[in-house]
Chains A and B, each alone.
Chain A
Amino acid sequence: LAKTTQPISMDSYEGQEVNITCSHNNIATNDYITWYQQFPSQGPRFIIQGYKTKVTNEVASLFIPADRKSSTLSLPRVSLSDTAVYYCLVAPRGTGFQKLVFGTGTRLLVSP
C-alpha cells in the first residue's frame, strides 16, 4: 500500500479555510484517496473520496494534482466543531487492501 505522510498537527481559527495535505509518492494506478474525520471517543467518519482532479461535497473539497502524488483536503470556514483528527487513506479497491492502515492522522485544533 502507498505510504502516506501528513502533518502531525495544525492550528486554525474559526471562519478560516483549512487545507491539509497528504503526500503519497508511491500511489498506484488503482489506488483511491479517502479522507476521514475522527472525534475523541468516536469511530472515524467518512468525509470525501477521490481518484483525480477535484471532488466537492457539502462538507469539504478534495484536490488531487495530475501526478496524484499528493492530495489536499480543504475545509471551508472551519468552526470549533471541526477540531478533530483527519486521516488520509490511500488504498486500492481490489486486492491489497488487507494491509490497510489509516496512519496517525493530522490533529486539527480550531480556536475561537
Chain B
Amino acid sequence: DVKVTQSSRYLVKRTGEKVFLECVQDMDHENMFWYRQDPGLGLRLIYFSYDVKMKEKGDIPEGYSVSREKKERFSLILESASTNQTSMYLCASSLSGSSFYEQYFGPGTRLTVT
C-alpha cells in the first residue's frame, strides 16, 4: 500500500517565521508534488519535483521554495510566513509515464499563520 506521510497534521506559526513542511513517500515514486487547498479555489500546484534535486514551479510558487535531497523526501519551505499562506497543504507522489496523474496524497497539513 502506497504511503505518503506529512510531518504535521496541524501547525500554527507566526508571521515572518520560516516554516518547513516535510513529506515522505515509501513507494520509490519519481514525482512528488506540493499543493495547497483553499475553499472555493480547489487544489493548486505549488511545486513539482521529478527527480532528486530537480524541481519545477507550479501555478503558485511565489513565497515558497522546495528541497528534494533524497528520492523519498520532498520539503516545502515558507521563507517568511504570511497570513495569506494560511491553508491546507497537501503532498502527493506518483510514477512517471502513464501513471503521472495517478497521484497518491498525504493526509495534509493545516497551517495557520497568525
Contacts and interface: CB of A to CB of B under 8 A. Distances in A.
Given A98-B58, A100-B58, A100-B59, A91 B105 contact: no
Contacts of A101: 42-45, 59
B66 to A, nearest CB: 13
Interface residues of B, number: 27
Given A43-B106, A98-B59, A101-B59, A89 B45 contact: no
A45 B56 CA distance: 23
Given A41-B108, A98-B48, A98-B56, A46 B102 contact: yes
A104 interface: yes
A17 B42 CA distance: 26
A43 B42 contact: no
A108 B106 CA distance: 22
Contacts, number: 65
23 contacts: A42-B108, A43-B4, A43-B90, A44-B105, A87-B43, A93-B97, A93-B98, A93-B101, A97-B45, A97-B48, A97-B100, A98-B45, A98-B59, A100-B45, A101-B42, A101-B44, A101-B59, A102-B35, A102-B42, A102-B43, A102-B44, A103-B42, A105-B42
Interface of B: 4, 35, 40-45, 48, 56-59, 90-92, 97-98, 100-108
